[in-house]
Amino acid sequence: MSHLILQSPSLMPAHVEQVAAIVSAAGVQELGATAVRLLEADESERSVVAAYCDSNGMDYAFLPQIDLLRERRILAMDMDSTLISIECIDEIADAVGRKPQVAAITEAAMRGEIKDFAESLRRRVALLEGVPESALLEVYEQRLRLNPGAERLVATARQHGLKVLLVSGGFTFFTERLRERLSLDVCHANVLEVADGKLTGRVNGDIVDARGKAARLAELAAELGASREQIIAVGDGANDLEMMALAHYSVAYRAKPVVREQAAFALNFSPLDAILNWFRLSY
């Protein structure tokens, strides 16, 4: 028997009752206005629960036990479309009227249709040649928004002793500003080459791709002595899968189908801080 956490921005009692009946739950605990915990849930009904939740705008998580958040060690997150609501490279391209071309490559890469992320990034960055560096600050100040629940998730994780890793196939211009804004512990991303105040259309150094993301997480885990069970990893695109495979709590956030299929958990409707309801925040 498992605990089953149900969450939705508009959680309906009738839907909770229906899922409780499906899993023969022994009881229901309210976790707030948007979440409940069903006790002694029959996990063999997972496929039925998944279909019901998807059609009724709910997220679900089967958990054999509810662990203390403070016993996790790492929260690893992707940036674009995970921690933040935009794909930065698409918005930079918009400054020179090339957003459709760049966004099409981004979408194909995130869906896993383009297998070589590094090559897809080079193709997209090449289209940014000549963009003034000032456009990056405009994207950060005018278009970049944290996804709902991001700030509380990060702050709570840090309060409970987790190290927060932001590892991105995007750019250091944005990760470094988010590091300062959210007091992130470690950030890794790609470096855009700039000359005479304009982007050259090239990336400096090694590209942080799927393998690079996983390597950065593995390095931090080794440094902290963190086991797989102590890692939470959140992403939305195909280039997050290798990183997410290193985490017991692999979370697909508003993710592409290929990511939802392979992740242990998914948040299709709830904000990022819904992850906190899977853990005990105190004894």
Residues identified as active-site: 78, 80
Please say whether the beta carbons of 36 and 5 come within 8 A.
yes
Strands 231-235 and 74-77, how do they pair?
parallel
In eight-state DSSP terms, residue 248 is S
**SS3 label, residue 21:** helix
Nearest to 190 by CA among 253, 239, 247, 250: 239
CA distances from 40 to 44, 132, 278 (A): 12, 58, 15
What span, in angstroms and rounded, lies between the C-alpha atoms of 84 and 205? Answer: 24
Nearest to 64 by CA among 4, 139, 126: 4
Tokens representing 169? 């196939």
